[in-house]
Amino acid sequence: MTTKAPIGFCGLGAMGMGMATHLVKSGHQVKGFDLYPPSLQRFEAAGGNPSPSLLNSAADMPFYIVMVATAVQAQSALFGTAGEEGIVHKLPQGAVLLLCSTVPASYAVSVERELKEIGRGDVFFIDSPVSGGAFRAADGTLSIMAGGRTASLEKGMWLLKAMSAPKKLFIVKGGIGAGSNMKMAHQVLAAIQILVTGEAYGFAARLGLDADSVRKEIVEGEAWSWMVEDRGRRVIAGLEAWRPGVSALTIILKDTSIITSSARLCNFPVPMASAAEQVYFSGLSQGFGSEDDAGMVRVYYPGPVADVKCDLDKETKAAKLKLVVDMLIGIYVCATAESIAFAQQVNLPLDQLHELAVDAAGGSHVFRDVGAQMIKGLTGDVSAWSGSGKRLDDVAQGLSEAANEAQSLKCPAFLTNAALSMLTLAKRTGEKDASAASVVKVWKS
Amino acid sequence: MTTKAPIGFCGLGAMGMGMATHLVKSGHQVKGFDLYPPSLQRFEAAGGNPSPSLLNSAADMPFYIVMVATAVQAQSALFGTAGEEGIVHKLPQGAVLLLCSTVPASYAVSVERELKEIGRGDVFFIDSPVSGGAFRAADGTLSIMAGGRTASLEKGMWLLKAMSAPKKLFIVKGGIGAGSNMKMAHQVLAAIQILVTGEAYGFAARLGLDADSVRKEIVEGEAWSWMVEDRGRRVIAGLEAWRPGVSALTIILKDTSIITSSARLCNFPVPMASAAEQVYFSGLSQGFGSEDDAGMVRVYYPGPVADVKCDLDKETKAAKLKLVVDMLIGIYVCATAESIAFAQQVNLPLDQLHELAVDAAGGSHVFRDVGAQMIKGLTGDVSAWSGSGKRLDDVAQGLSEAANEAQSLKCPAFLTNAALSMLTLAKRTGEKDASAASVVKVWKS
């Protein structure tokens, strides 16, 4: 039954449309619903079965996927609003329900509780946010982070597998909420590393560096990260690539707010993600919300960075490129620390976070190396605080020089300075010749 | 001789003009110089003796006051530039030289060193930045923070007294640099509390609160600070009061950069001041540099805050006003901690900082009370970490609720979130029922 079972689906946005049409192509009957009629038409054109109403999309469906944008939307779709019924009132006995939206773990937990309260404890609920973008959604090669009861995961496994790449389905221990927490820990990296792309390219433009040289230096060197490579392309392409763009500022802002609001709930410090969030809010105020998040570079440098021509001699240019690299490294170290420390705070398996993020949108060479050392240290091997790899003093010194130069150029450097404060706190409490990985102890203190 | 001795003066800006003309009115011969001819004309109209050149203003002058805007300007005025001589080459043997500009302490120290190196160790040099604004400058009632050798201070005392209010002349122990460091520690409060005025009024506007109610709540209650009262007036007055305004954004930005660059030099964390600095840089990018710093409210709320009409019921309004107050209190606590901890780092007498700042532009009720308790704790009385007064948990809880509400309103809250990170770090390391004052230990850790 299960392999070609009918599936209900709501939320046919960029991601949801890809996921739903991929399931259609794989031979499933998918009844999809969206409040936006053109999406329903596109879905029908792609071979899907458009549903005339939300409730109709759930009736008699043994499997159901929710892929709306926010927890607020999910709540009204699932449980109804203003006296109207929701999806859960129509699902058949023993249905499998996947919540794939990015939501706070506390919200996923509340769904499980409310299902029981209204007598639908029979529903096999899975907390399974996804990552990977619209192309991988349409390919069925997403990363999925799934948590839930064992029975639910067993029943939903074929569907999770149908949408994810072979090694990108992560079953996260910890039940409902664990999937969302894993996604959140990953998004700490994404939230910071999207903004640092603008901070680095804006700083580089003020330094008089041409964007192509900056890109080459970053992409081929130790300052590589998935985000800086991906968003850097659109930072350089400029305004035309931002309207409408690939990933709207409002999307990463929503995920960033999940991080900071969850952190407040558990009394955990997230100085890096919350600095990023405030800058995103200020971009929103300036009208950048619906545009690509790469457009945040305008906060740092008003003109097109691609217009900067470099006329520096080779040595000066190399020294300035090093400042950009050192800025990135310092921020990556703190982003890595914040992600891993927060993951430990919410009891996630750190090795799994590392495996997942190193090869996803949050990945960076620093996360790969320094992150691995942080995890060693946090899981009991104290040699990580002094052992090999980058030195705390070197990373702090490089970042301090970048901050100094940004200041003299009157360039805002929000993440640079937030990271410098954390590295400085680490230096004050740390031992001599401490490793860069040891900065994570400031978050955990 | 000294009481009516001739005085050389350079830097006839808003502050310098007031200081120089006050000395004229007090019966002194003052030969003043400025690069801007209209200032020289104004000085002459006020009875001063305009000097045809910088060097002429120094020749044969037993007393000389430098009141230019920056350390870079001071350096070229004092020591000359591009082969030209400067003031110190013209001053007579044993002249008294007051540097009243706000400069990094490290710069004041370098002046003393360079005087010796060029064989002018005979000059009685005093590091004596001032505070109080143009009106008090013209009244001769400034606050002055003076450091230097005892002999220098003795010789310059009458002149320092002539420009300052009776109880506002602070002789700071520690020699050259101590005056500048004292000013810097005070400016930590000013830099943060100017920006928090915009953050609080912008947040309040988004909450739907009318500005007059906000002002009354702040000015009459525990959230009072000198800056929020003073700048609040111009925040409410709006655009007309900002062009040209009373105190340009570039001025507080310059002082903020002195704080963060000095902090980098001594490996001290200043997360609050450096968050403020980045927001100021972003205001500068948006073209607000020459306008009054009260205009920074636009970063938080685009429209005139005075246009917001409040139609909330009494209870809701009181609850929202409390959020604004709690935001301010949380930020003041961290501003106070950053100022006092940094002052201790640079070996300033903390009681003197408290006496000075409590009654100056950096003053707040929180600085008066929680600041006094921090000083008690930092100088050895550990009962301050648990004793009476505000609780760390309460301050953190109030700030967290403000951060939560700002987030749901999509209002940037840079200082709120920077402060929340520090309070959260303090809660993690602190004892149960810790005092709010104990947050200062995070900076000192």
Is residue A208 situated within a structural domain? yes
Is residue A91 situated within a structural domain? yes
CA-closest candidate to residue B156, choices B180, B124, B123: B124
- The answer to whether residues A339 and A211 belong to one domain is yes
State the residue for tokens 């609050």.
Answer: B272
- The greatest distance separating any two alpha carbons of chain B, rounded to the nearest whole angstrom, comes to 73
**Chain B residues in contact with A252 (beta carbon < 8 A):** none
Domain end marker among B139, B158, B176: B176
Buried b (16+ CB within 10 A) or exposed e, A385-419: bbeeebebbebbbbbbbbbbbbbebbbbbbbbbbb
- The answer to whether residues A264 and A388 belong to one domain is yes
- The answer to whether residues B202 and B112 belong to one domain is no
Bridge partners of B9? Answer: B32, B65
Cβ(B357)–Cβ(B168) under 8 Å? no
Cβ(B187)–Cβ(B356) under 8 Å? no
DSSP notation for A152-187: HHHHHHHHHHHHEEEEEEEE-SSSTTHHHHHHHHHH
- The greatest distance separating any two alpha carbons of chain A, rounded to the nearest whole angstrom, comes to 73
Is residue A72 situated within a structural domain? yes
Q: Give the residue-averaged pLDDT of B207-222.
A: 98
Q: Please check the confidence at residue B320 and state whether its pLDDT lies above 80.
A: yes
Cβ(B68)–Cβ(B10) under 8 Å? yes
- The answer to whether residues A190 and A133 belong to one domain is no
pLDDT digits (tens, 9 = 90+) for A196-214: 999 999 999 999 999 999 9
pLDDT band at A3 (very low <50, low <70, confident <90, very high): low
- The answer to whether residues B36 and B99 belong to one domain is yes
Distances (CA, A) of A231 to A214, A225, A336, A340, B55: 13, 10, 19, 23, 55
CATH number at residue A67: 3.40.50.720
pLDDT digits (tens, 9 = 90+) for B337-347: 999 999 999 99
pLDDT digits (tens, 9 = 90+) for B353-373: 999 999 999 999 999 999 999
A407 contact B CB<8A? yes
Query: DSSP alpha helices (H): ranges in A95-168?
Result: 105-117, 133-139, 150-163
- The answer to whether residues A321 and A216 belong to one domain is yes
CATH number at residue A372: 1.10.1040.10
Q: How many CA atoms lie within 13 A of B170 on its CB side?
A: 30
Is residue A83 situated within a structural domain? yes
Task: Tell me how many domains chain A contains.
Answer: 2
CA-closest candidate to residue B367, choices B224, B172, B170, B199: B224
What is the Cα gyration radius of chain B? 23
The dihedrals phi and psi of B72, each to the nearest 5 degrees, come to -65, -45
- The answer to whether residues A232 and A313 belong to one domain is yes
Cβ(B353)–Cβ(B341) under 8 Å? no
Q: Please check the confidence at residue B2 and state whether its pLDDT lies above 70.
A: no
Q: Which amino acid is at B108?
A: A
Domain end marker among B176, B205, B234: B176
- The answer to whether residues A295 and A422 belong to one domain is yes
Q: Give the residue-averaged pLDDT of B324-348.
A: 98
Give residue A207's domain range.
186-444
B130-131 and B142-146 beta bridge pairing: antiparallel
Q: Give the residue-averaged pLDDT of B267-281.
A: 98
Chain A's closest residue to B266, CA to CA, is: A424
Rounded to two decimals, the pTM is 0.95
Confidence (pLDDT) at B1: 43
ipTM of the assembly?
Answer: 0.94
- The answer to whether residues A163 and A238 belong to one domain is no
Buried b (16+ CB within 10 A) or exposed e, A40-78: bebbeebebbbbeebbebbeebbbbbbbbbebebbbbbb
Six token digits for residue B209: 């609160």
Closest in A278, A403, A425 to B269, CB measured: A425
B53 contact A CB<8A? no
Mean pLDDT for chain B overall: 96
B271 contact A CB<8A? yes
pLDDT band at A420 (very low <50, low <70, confident <90, very high): very high
Cβ(A193)–Cβ(A332) under 8 Å? yes
Instruction: Mention every residue, 6+ apart, whose C-beta is less than 8 A from residue A328.
Output: A196, A200, A218, A223, A225, A228
Query: Does the distance separating the beta carbons of A421 and B271 come in below 8 Å?
Result: yes
DSSP notation for A198-213: HHHHHHHHHTT--HHH
- The answer to whether residues A237 and A100 belong to one domain is no
pLDDT band at B394 (very low <50, low <70, confident <90, very high): very high
Six token digits for residue A190: 């994404």
Is residue A181 situated within a structural domain? no
Dihedral sign, CA of A418, A419, A422, A423? negative
Query: Does the distance separating the beta carbons of B412 and A260 come in below 8 Å?
Result: no
Q: Please check the confidence at residue B26 and state whether its pLDDT lies above 50.
A: yes
Six token digits for residue B321: 């006003």
Six token digits for residue B119: 């064989």
Instruction: Mention every residue, 6+ apart, whose C-beta is less than 8 A from residue B320.
Output: B204, B207, B208, B209, B312
Six token digits for residue B100: 């009243």
- The answer to whether residues A159 and A207 belong to one domain is no
Domain end marker among A146, A176, A206: A176
Closest in A275, A302, A414 to B285, CB measured: A302
**Chain A residues in contact with B442 (beta carbon < 8 A):** 425
pLDDT band at B3 (very low <50, low <70, confident <90, very high): low
Give the dihedral of Cα atoms B178, B181, B186, B191; nearest 10 deg: 160
Higher-pLDDT residue of A186 and B83 is A186
- The answer to whether residues A215 and A142 belong to one domain is no
Q: How far is B268 from chain A, CA to nearest CA, in Å? A: 6
